[in-house]
């Protein structure tokens, strides 16, 4: 992704894939200010992990990961997710039961 700042400078966003395997990937994203041959980091790098699940695949697209990187990830992951999505609603119900039991004691 390239965003123009001035006529002589641009901000480039660089993606890096780490630990890509059949179940997950870590994506590092860093913005750089580029002026001529000079490149300076802008802010801190951002890293996010994605799982090979239905939700993880959707998050890759929603987070604006470059299509070329998504294609590379999906080439390793294949067509079928290997990780089941975690249902957080059960966790909330269990926590409510534990709190009710604690209050009763």
What distance in Å separates the CA atoms of residue 76 and residue 22, rounded to the nearest whole number? Answer: 6
Q: What average pLDDT score do residues 61-76 get?
A: 93
pLDDT digits (tens, 9 = 90+) for 9-63: 788 888 899 999 999 999 999 999 988 888 889 989 999 999 999 999 999 999 9
What distance in Å separates the CA atoms of residue 50 and residue 16, rounded to the nearest whole number? Answer: 13
Q: Tokens representing 64?
A: 């604006």
3-state helix, strand and coil shares in percent for the chain, rounded to the nearest 5: 35, 35, 30
Instruction: Please state the domain count of the chain.
Output: 1
- Domain hosting 51: range is 2-104
Over pLDDT 70: what percentage of the chain? 74
In this prediction, residue 95 carries a pLDDT of 59
In this prediction, residue 24 carries a pLDDT of 95
């Amino acid at each position: 992704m390239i965003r123009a700042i001035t006529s002589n400078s641009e901000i480039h966003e660089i993606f890096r894939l780490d630990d890509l395997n059949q179940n997950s990937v870590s994506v590092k994203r860093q913005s750089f200010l580029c002026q001529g041959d000079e490149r300076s980091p802008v802010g801190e790098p951002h890293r996010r992990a994605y799982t090979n699940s239905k939700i993880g695949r959707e998050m890759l697209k929603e987070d604006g990961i470059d299509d070329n990187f998504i294609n590379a990830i999906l080439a390793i992951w294949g067509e079928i997710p290997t990780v089941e999505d975690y249902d957080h609603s059960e966790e909330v119900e269990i926590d409510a039961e534990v709190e009710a039991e604690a209050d009763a004691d």
